[in-house]
Structure 1
Amino acid sequence: MGPTRRKRRLGRYMKAVRQQASPELKPEQVADLAQTTRQTVTRMEAGAALPRIHLFAAILNVIGATDEQRAQATRLWEIADADTTTIEHGDLPLKYRAFRMDESEAIRERTLNTVVVPGMLQIPAYAAAIWSAARNRIQHLDYEERAVAERRDRQSLLYREENPLQLHSLIDEAALRRMIGGPAVMIEQLDHLLAMSARPTVTIQVLPFEIGAYDAMSGPVTLLGFPEDDEPDTAYLEYVFGGESVEDVDAVAALTAIWEELADTAPTAEESAAIIRSIRDAVRAR
């Protein structure tokens, strides 16, 4: 497996801990004391490899990590170890937490949603209605409440004081006309979209019925962009029972091309706001 963002994050953290806690120790000395090879240590710090957990714990001992540093490093190792698995969304599984961590470090998020409003733009009542509909599949009694809280936590990225997340969402008209939660909830949700679209860091475009079929209609797509010049964009694809992070450069490029073509085809943000108002007014008139 080639380097991934989560392995690189872990590697940067481990290198920083080593240089802070034991600045006199070089990678080859760490390797000798941990009874491994220099290549293993340097590849870990470069984000190119992930040592087994017992060796990882030995390296932490050798470099003199504090309890707090050890706990953070272990969390990062667990997330990196989950790099190629798919997830189930129940109870914020490891892979989804990995996506959330990536999202928290991103400066740009582009979404394509064909069935529901993207999570970043959902109001609590709308999110609750979605999770309520999944109650037969999800066994946790309090999951609806916890899922709504998780949505709120994600959305805080749009309001952070420094470098708020730049969000550009493409939303199919079908998602705006689906009466999730009933008319009152939909009116509030559509009003929220209009309010959010007025923010300088949020762009919303509607994909109207008139454009017909388009690629990637099968499910939600999220594209994340990061501040580092050497960090490529990543993607996250959602399914009924979970999701999958995509870091393959060619696959992400293909998804990006699809998104950009749709953004070019869709009505402008101003025209899209007018469409949203029209749908809202039609719901009110019922």
Structure 2
Amino acid sequence: MDRPKPNARKRLLANKLRRLRENAGLTQVEAGAPMRFNKNKMSRIELGYLPDYNGFVALLDRYGVIVSDYDDWVRQYDRAFEKGWWHAYGLDDMSYISLEADADEVRVYEFGIVPGLLQTEAGMRAAFAGAREPLSPRRLENEIAVRLRRQARLTDDDPPLKFHAIIDESVLRRPDLVPHEQCAQLEQIIERAELPNVTVQVVPINHGFHSGRNGSFTILSYPRLREPDIAYIEHGFGSLQFEKAKDVNVARLVFRHLADLALDEPDSIRLIRQVIAET
């Protein structure tokens, strides 16, 4: 039976172990030799298949981590094996939620729908109604509860989640909701934009072709964990996650380009108010 794939927290911790090994100037074979971890086992550890506690501590010692710093590493180890809050809603550790849960900042470009962290409940129901496979009533309510809990990080966390959304103007004008619900959705975007940790920009339709027309994407940042950014794309057949520096750097460059292309936030809010008036 195949072992379950490592969750995001295990992979993040595994990346740190790999960097410790590299900073110590050790190959995988050299690092694992005292514990009789062969190259295959070391490779799996650095992919997120973490060893037992004693093996983990032995690796810290092998990499020269001083004992007084063990507590922080052990906390990260214990947390990597904890079940996330999303399990109560039937979601596993391989979902996007597990990546977002540890992020300090999320940047999203959305070409198709209002970003989930800005949606009203009516907007969520409309988005889920368009899913390829219809959701059962229970699953639908769970998905909405998860999205509302994610949104709470914008206001309830200390510090709150930093969120920068760039939205194509066509998203604001799609008749996905009845008029009064559509106005409420647009008003909520404006309300969220007033938060100091939230930035909203709109790319006007009259810009014509640009790199954002290729599709939506998300960049997640982890400064408190001192981990590199992750780029994420969701598409009709599943999702893709990019961790290689060259791939993530391309995503950052495209996002910066779209931020320059978009209206600044005050002008974006004025455009959203204009759309409300026309609805």
- TM-score, length-scaled by structure 1: 0.71
The verdict on how the C-alpha distance between 1:169 and 1:30 changes in structure 2, with shifts beyond 3 A counting, is same
Match for residue 242 of structure 2? Answer: 246
The verdict on how the C-alpha distance between 1:203 and 1:72 changes in structure 2, with shifts beyond 3 A counting, is closer
Asked whether 1:8 is paired with 2:12, we answer yes
String of CA shifts for 1:134-187, please: whole Å, max 9, x gaps: 2x6135342222221111111122123411111110000110001212111110
Distance between the aligned counterparts of 1:179 and 1:166, measured in 2? 29
Q: Tell me, yes or no, if the aligned pair for 1:237 and 1:244 is still in contact at 8 Å.
A: yes
String of CA shifts for 1:33-55, please: whole Å, max 9, x gaps: xxx427778777xx624448xxx
Mark the runs of 5 or more structure 2 residues left unpaired by the alignment.
1-7, 18-30, 58-76
The verdict on how the C-alpha distance between 1:10 and 1:275 changes in structure 2, with shifts beyond 3 A counting, is same
Match for residue 130 of structure 2? Answer: 133
> Quick one: which of 165, 171, 177 aligns to 1:181?
177
Q: Tell me, yes or no, if the aligned pair for 1:234 and 1:245 is still in contact at 8 Å.
A: yes
String of CA shifts for 1:78-135, please: whole Å, max 9, x gaps: xxxxxxxxxxxx9534421xx322212222111100111001111111101111232x
The verdict on how the C-alpha distance between 1:212 and 1:91 changes in structure 2, with shifts beyond 3 A counting, is farther
The verdict on how the C-alpha distance between 1:12 and 1:253 changes in structure 2, with shifts beyond 3 A counting, is closer
Distance between the aligned counterparts of 1:239 and 1:101, measured in 2? 18
The verdict on how the C-alpha distance between 1:259 and 1:125 changes in structure 2, with shifts beyond 3 A counting, is same
Helix, strand or coil at the partner of 1:116: coil
The verdict on how the C-alpha distance between 1:154 and 1:241 changes in structure 2, with shifts beyond 3 A counting, is farther
Match for residue 37 of structure 1? Answer: 37
The 5 Å alignment of 1:109-148 reads 109-134=106-131, 137-148=133-144
Q: Tell me, yes or no, if the aligned pair for 2:111 and 2:216 is still in contact at 8 Å.
A: yes
Q: Tell me, yes or no, if the aligned pair for 1:173 and 1:208 is still in contact at 8 Å.
A: yes
Structure 1 vs Structure 2 CA RMSD: 3.3
Q: Tell me, yes or no, if the aligned pair for 2:10 and 2:81 is still in contact at 8 Å.
A: no
Q: What is the aligned length?
A: 236
Q: Tell me, yes or no, if the aligned pair for 1:219 and 1:238 is still in contact at 8 Å.
A: no
Match for residue 232 of structure 2? Answer: 236
Match for residue 73 of structure 1? Answer: 81
Q: Tell me, yes or no, if the aligned pair for 1:30 and 1:62 is still in contact at 8 Å.
A: no
Mark the runs of 5 or more structure 1 residues left unpaired by the alignment.
14-26, 77-89
Q: Tell me, yes or no, if the aligned pair for 1:40 and 1:51 is still in contact at 8 Å.
A: no
Q: CA deviation at 1:258?
A: 0.8
Which amino acid is 2:242 matched to?
A: V
Distance between the aligned counterparts of 1:40 and 1:117, measured in 2? 44
Which amino acid is 1:239 matched to?
A: H
The 5 Å alignment of 1:148-163 reads 148-163=144-159
Helix, strand or coil at the partner of 1:95: coil
The 5 Å alignment of 1:218-229 reads 218-228=214-224
The verdict on how the C-alpha distance between 1:38 and 1:241 changes in structure 2, with shifts beyond 3 A counting, is closer
The verdict on how the C-alpha distance between 1:117 and 1:94 changes in structure 2, with shifts beyond 3 A counting, is same
Helix, strand or coil at the partner of 1:233: strand
Q: CA deviation at 1:73?
A: 2.2
Q: Tell me, yes or no, if the aligned pair for 2:167 and 2:200 is still in contact at 8 Å.
A: yes
Q: Tell me, yes or no, if the aligned pair for 1:233 and 1:252 is still in contact at 8 Å.
A: yes
Q: Tell me, yes or no, if the aligned pair for 2:13 and 2:48 is still in contact at 8 Å.
A: no
Distance between the aligned counterparts of 1:102 and 1:151, measured in 2? 14
Q: Tell me, yes or no, if the aligned pair for 1:5 and 1:231 is still in contact at 8 Å.
A: no
Q: Tell me, yes or no, if the aligned pair for 1:170 and 1:205 is still in contact at 8 Å.
A: yes
Q: Which range moved further: 260-269 or 102-111? A: 102-111
Q: Tell me, yes or no, if the aligned pair for 2:104 and 2:224 is still in contact at 8 Å.
A: no
The verdict on how the C-alpha distance between 1:161 and 1:140 changes in structure 2, with shifts beyond 3 A counting, is closer
Q: Tell me, yes or no, if the aligned pair for 2:14 and 2:46 is still in contact at 8 Å.
A: no
Asked whether 1:95 is paired with 2:103, we answer no
